[in-house]
Amino acid sequence: MQDVLDVATANLRDLRLGAWAQLDDAEALREQGREARTRAIKNLSRYLDEFQGNVEARGGHVHRCSTDAEAAETIADICRSVGASLVAKSKSMASEEIGLNDALEAEGVRVVETDLGEYILQLAGEHPVHIVAPAIEKTREDVAKLLESVDGEPVDRELSAMTAKARRQLREVFLTADVGVTGANFAVAETGSICLVTNEGNGRLVSTLPRVHVAILGLERIVANTHDLATCLKLLARSATAQRLTTYTTLITGPRRDGEEDGPEELHVIVLDNGRSSLLGTRYEEMLNCIRCGACLNVCPIYRKSGGAAYGPVYSGPMGAVLVPLLAKAPDLPHASSLCGACTQACPVKIPLHELLLELRRDLVDDRVASWWERAAFTLWSLAWSSRLGYRATTRLARLGQPLAPSLSQPWSRGRALPRLQRRYRDR
Amino acid sequence: MKRVQLFATCLGDLAFPDAVSDAAMLLRSAGFEVDFPERQICCGQPAFNAGHRAAARRVARTFVKAFSREAPIVTPSGSCATMVTHYLPELVGVEPFEIWELSAFLEHEGARMALVNDGIEVSYHDSCHMLRELDIHDAPRRLLEASGATVRELPRPDLCCGFGGTFSVRQPEISLAMADDKLTGTAPVLVTSDPGCLMHLRGRSEALGGSRRDMPAVVHLATALARGVRA
């Protein structure tokens, strides 16, 4: 797993840097992106209302759901109301967040992931470990074995053969699914459109073939207008996969209209809160600017060593380490970082991720979530080191106690030599 | 004569006093009188980065009491220079200080380097704070080259070494794995400008067998420039 992840993240990072280098002024575009996202979040309520009005004017339905359970129940209701027995899904991290697949399967509905990475993970019974490349840790051999487990037929360990096999397995699903569930990369308030960004085209199939299309998105996905959408799109693919645009960039505005040949009869947009609105007006509001490009994951030295599953089942890497503690209890995540700042440097919309991680650490201390002995240790240290006498006394003790050090300093010395404390510089 | 105030840092004072002496020597060779304010202790960064603001503030106040604003402060630590530059003033509620990381200062002052590393190949590790928050990348490399060394770039110069203060003991396995990555593909000598990175990388290199097992010698930039990497 380790080598695969090291190589994959390094490649994605190099590709992104190459894509940014092709821009006339990457820094200016990042600033534009930051501005567009900030404006959307600062006027969230207004834009959500505008979005809803425009979707409904074109015959779509909007369901605003406060919690994950409410969203899962709403989608289950929609499936029930149309007697759905098969749901085809294209990639949606929001659907992972609400545990949608489990909720639908508990109702006896079969759910099949059609994004290739998600499909592979579904076959393995696992969760995504990267928000853009969900099965990033799987090797060619892993994937081949999983595809073979479906129909018992062997496949060449060769990319086009394996893709063709997956395509054959998924074709039936696209053609016979009753409901298609997608996420949405952006929701455009001005036009009531949702924007889907994929490379596989599964998003297009899932949103047009089944009779009912359900799109679930976090409420922060709102952008004001198509101009801001364009800014975000210019940043998204370049930052995620180094493409100027993904192969399929789809704008969906309402369900099928009279006279149109293609499209679902019903469109339901689920706007998910699940704690996001609690960030508004706080120091953490900026986290809602995230466009889910994954650039931060690809540069994070902790992510590449520990893998996505270590962070939890949905969001990982720096964006996960910031977002998850804000939406749910996750006291370890703010410390799953060396505060190196690579994430902040990589973020296309300039979210100061490592500064937000530091804020979260402060909260852990101020809210007394950090253990009492940790707080006591730092307090005692600071009292000792706030006077020359205290500093000299404690450091003299440390020097004298050096022979004992290895056993007292296990977390350090299991794997690293200790520095030899010598005569202090000041005593020379 | 021009003066500077030397900030040894707590790690410098306690664990790498030679590097601090070397920094003082470099500054004197560059024509500066070097003051060592006796009341200095620590900038408070270890507590600050762990989220303990009150503890950090208590210790950071000692910095404010120790240093005057009459002369620039120079320190052989990228992370401490960052702390004092970007975070300490707001934490304690004081005006900013003029503080320089050593290599940035020496380069700015056009200091000439002695040819103590002639013909030697070294690699240089960019500490995260110095690189990303102080934007110092070229100065250490130019100074090393001026001392005669050839700088071989690390395969991934952008990656953190894994120290991260308390991170090194909260997540020791990941911290060690990150150190191992840094120690791969380096020249036989690895130079760094930060005592935290130094303590962590040298500690790991030694634990893995040091020169007996082809692990690099890890050297502070001040020592590399003052007496040479073989010192």
Hey, of A365, A380, A395, A416, which one would you mutate to test binding to chain B, going by the most B CBs within 10 A of its CB? A416
The string of pLDDT tens digits covering residues B80-135 is: 999 999 999 999 999 999 999 999 999 999 999 999 999 999 999 999 999 999 99
- Do residue B24 and residue B101 come from a single domain? yes
Do B85 and B130 lie in a common domain?
Answer: no
Q: Is residue B231 part of a domain?
A: no
Residue A405 is predicted with a pLDDT of: 75
Q: What is the pLDDT of residue A344?
A: 98
Phi, psi of A424 (to 5 degrees): -60, 150
B43: buried, middle or exposed (CB in 10 Å: 19+, 13-18, 0-12)? buried
Q: Which of A108, A386, A226 is nearest to B60 (CA)?
A: A386
CATH of the domain at B42: 3.40.50
Q: What is the mean pLDDT of residues A311-324?
A: 94
Indicate if the alpha-carbon torsion angle B114, B117, B118, B122 is positive or negative. negative
State how far the Cα of A248 lies from the Cα of A70, in Å rounded to an integer: 31
**Domain A2-277 in this protein, CATH class:** alpha beta
**Same domain? B87 vs B125:** no
> Rounded to the nearest 5 degrees, what angle is found at the Cα of A319, between the Cα atoms of A94 and A191?
50
Structural domain for B151, as ranges: 115-226
For A158-217, write each residue's pLDDT tens digit: 989 999 999 999 999 999 999 999 999 999 999 999 999 998 889 999 999 999 999 999
CB atoms within 10 A of CB B231: 11
Please tell me the distance in Å from A282's CA to the nearest CA on chain B.
18
Residue B200: pLDDT band with limits 50, 70, 90: very high
Together in a domain, B35 and B8: yes
Q: Which of B114, B85, B78, B104 is nearest to B192 (CA)?
A: B78
Same domain, B132 and B37: no
Which residues, including other chains, have CB under 8 Å from residue B184's CB and lie 6 or more apart?
B155
Chain A contact set for B21 (CB, 8 A): 425, 428
Whole-prediction pTM: 0.94
Cβ partners under 8 Å of residue B33, min gap 6: B1, B2, B3, B4
Q: What is the pLDDT of residue A401?
A: 85
Boundary residue ending a domain (B107, B137, B159): B107
Domain finish residue from B63, B80, B107: B107
Taking an 8 Å cut-off on Cβ atoms, the answer to whether A305 and B178 are in contact is: yes
Percent of chain A with pLDDT over 70: 100
Of B47, B174, B204, Cβ closest to residue A305 = B174
d(CA B211, CA B230): 13
Contact A424 B14 (CB under 8 A): yes
Phi/psi of residue A26, each to 5°?
Answer: -60, -40
Mean predicted confidence (pLDDT) in A235-245: 92
Mean pLDDT value across chain B: 96
Q: Are residues B192 and B164 in the same domain?
A: yes
Residue A136 has pLDDT above 90, yes or no: no
Position A420 scores a pLDDT of 86
Cβ–Cβ below 8 Å for B158 and A342:
yes
Same domain, B135 and B84: no
Co-location of B51 and B119 in the same domain: no
The domain boundary residue, chosen from B51, B75, B107: B107
Q: Is residue B51 part of a domain?
A: yes
Same domain, B65 and B139: no
Tell me if A411 and B163 make a contact (CB, 8 A cut-off): no
A306, A332, A378, best to mutate vs chain B, most B CBs in 10 Å: A378
Q: Is pLDDT above 90 for A410?
A: no
Q: What angle do CA B134, B139, B143 make, to 5 degrees?
A: 150
* DSSP-based three-state secondary structure for B171: coil
Same domain, B124 and B213: yes
For residue A45, name the pLDDT band (cuts at 50, 70, 90). Answer: very high
Residue B7 lies inside a defined structural domain of this protein: yes
Q: Is the pLDDT of residue A400 over 90?
A: no
- Name, in order, each residue with C-beta under 8 angstroms of B135's C-beta and a sequence gap of 6 or more: none
For residue A398, pLDDT beyond 90: no
φ/ψ region of B212 (left if φ > 0, alpha if ψ in -120 to 50, else beta) reads: alpha
| N residues, chain B | 231
Same domain membership, residue B79 and residue B62 = yes
* pLDDT band with cut points at 50, 70 and 90 for residue A2: confident
* pLDDT mean over A353-379: 96
A26: pLDDT strictly greater than 90 = yes
Look up residue B213 and give its DSSP letter: G
Residue A111: helix, strand or coil by DSSP?
Answer: strand
d(CA A220, CA A94): 11
**Average pLDDT of span B199-205:** 97
Residue B191 maps to a domain: yes
Both B187 and B122 in one domain: the answer is: yes
Give the SS3 label for residue A206. Answer: helix
Would you call B162 and A338 a contact, using CB atoms and an 8 Å cutoff? Answer: yes
- Is the confidence at residue B231, as pLDDT, over 90? no
Q: What is the mean pLDDT of chain A?
A: 94
How many angstroms separate the CA of residue A390 from the nearest CA in chain B?
10
Q: Is the pLDDT of residue A69 over 80?
A: yes
Location of each CATH 3.40.50.10420 domain in chain A: 2-277
Q: CA angle at residue A69 from A200 to A254, to 5 degrees?
A: 45
Number of domains in chain B: 2
Q: Which of B8, B52, B160 sits opposite A426 (nearest CB)?
A: B8
